[in-house]
Amino acid sequence: MADVEIMQTVTEVKKTKKVKKSSKRRESEVQISEVEVDASTEERGGEYTKAMDKDWHSGHFCCWQCDESLTGQRYVIRDDHPYCIKCYENVFANTCEECNKIIGIDSKDLSYKDKHWHEACFLCFKCHLSLVDKQFGAKADKIYCGNCYDAQFASRCDGCGEVFRAGTKKMEYKTRQWHENCFCCCVCKMAIGTKSFIPREQEIYCAGCYEEKFATRCIKCNKVITSGGVTYKNEPWHRECFTCTNCNTTLAGQRFTSRDEKPYCAECFGELFAKRCTACVKPITGIGGTRFISFEDRHWHHDCFVCASCKASLVGRGFITDGPDILCPDCAKQKLM
């Protein structure tokens, strides 16, 4: 309600020597006072009213709205016009949101977002506690004390389920939020604060606990693989751990083969497990597409399968065995003649 001034007029018809009285009090941001009465009525001749720093005939100082005389009555000045109390309240006073009655000039007008209440009507919608000089919250055109507002509308911690009180520090990640002490690793329960963390499903992990529980580990040394790992038979290895079972030479980026689920470099595999060429006695590994010929229980490299006499290749040709040797048909015929 706008600041207004409430005045009291006094009409004097007797000759007096001196009368002077004034008092002020604050109610609903209006000023109530009694005006000074002039003692010179006899000289002026007749009854008059002194108001708004002017002199009026008693019948002329009237309410701006209803024209009723304000002489001897309290009145309110608004936009430099005087109003009787009834007209002022009917035209300008606010209506209380709670009781729907006029908030008169003698009542304190409490307002919030263009809404007004009597002091006695400014109550929590839920528990009806007075909200005068207290913190309150508003929701859907209703006002609530702090406790009732928190209980019904305040956001809650995803850790403990309690509401966030005013001034409480809040930790947020995506659509979830926690009290500072509730934002902790689900395994070790240590508060994460500003440290690194890893979310997994609906849980939060510190880096150490996440690695311990979920990180990929080398099949050989069982330590966490942070970078540079290799996969062999769907199992993870450190590059430095992926070595030949026999000589421990690193196999990352090298040719290798396996035996009994264990990796071997080409040389070790040939020395340990490969067939040996009957001609050169070196292992036939088959790595790199090497072709070989087998006959009965003997084996040859493709290039070693030649006639023992003329050294002609016997690959794709007929041959004759002569003890440990193999001969082409021509050399065998000559040997028999």
Q: What is the pLDDT of residues 82-97, one digit of tens each?
A: 888 888 888 888 889 8
Q: Where in the chain are the domains? A: 47-92, 170-213, 229-271, 306-336
Bridge partners, 143 (sequence order)? 138
Q: How confident is the model at residue 13 (pLDDT cuts 50, 70, 90)?
A: very low
Q: How many percent of the chain have pLDDT more than 90?
A: 1
State the average pLDDT over residues 135-144. Answer: 84
State the average pLDDT over residues 90-111. Answer: 86
Residue 184 has pLDDT above 60, yes or no: yes
Q: Give domain 47-92's CATH number out of 1.10.1040.10, 2.10.110.10, 3.40.50.2020, 2.60.40.290.
A: 2.10.110.10
Q: How confident is the model at residue 17 (pLDDT cuts 50, 70, 90)?
A: very low
pLDDT greater at residue 19 or residue 293: 293
Q: How confident is the model at residue 41 (pLDDT cuts 50, 70, 90)?
A: very low
Kindly report the pTM of this predicted structure: 0.38
- Is the Cβ–Cβ distance between 170 and 178 less than 8 Å? yes
62-71, 73-82, 112-121, 167-176: range with highest mean pLDDT: 112-121
Please give the pLDDT value at position 58: 67
Residue 37 has pLDDT above 50, yes or no: no
Question: Which of 127-131, 133-137, 161-165, 230-234 has the lowest average pLDDT?
Answer: 161-165
Q: Give domain 306-336's CATH number out of 1.10.3720.10, 3.30.360.10, 2.10.110.10, 1.10.8.10.
A: 2.10.110.10
pLDDT greater at residue 154 or residue 88: 88
pLDDT greater at residue 270 or residue 241: 241
CA distance 218 to 229: 8
CATH superfamily of 229-271: Cysteine Rich Protein (2.10.110.10)
State the average pLDDT over residues 261-267. Answer: 84
Q: Give domain 170-213's CATH number out of 3.40.50.620, 3.30.2320.30, 2.10.110.10, 2.40.10.120.
A: 2.10.110.10
Please give the pLDDT value at position 337: 64
- The residue among 264, 212, 162 whose CA lies nearest residue 170 is 162
State the average pLDDT over residues 130-138. Answer: 85
pLDDT greater at residue 155 or residue 101: 101
Whether 47-92 shares its CATH topology with 306-336 is answered yes
Question: Which of 135-139, 270-274, 305-309 has the lowest average pLDDT?
Answer: 270-274
196-200, 279-283, 333-337: range with highest mean pLDDT: 196-200
Residue 240 has pLDDT above 70, yes or no: yes
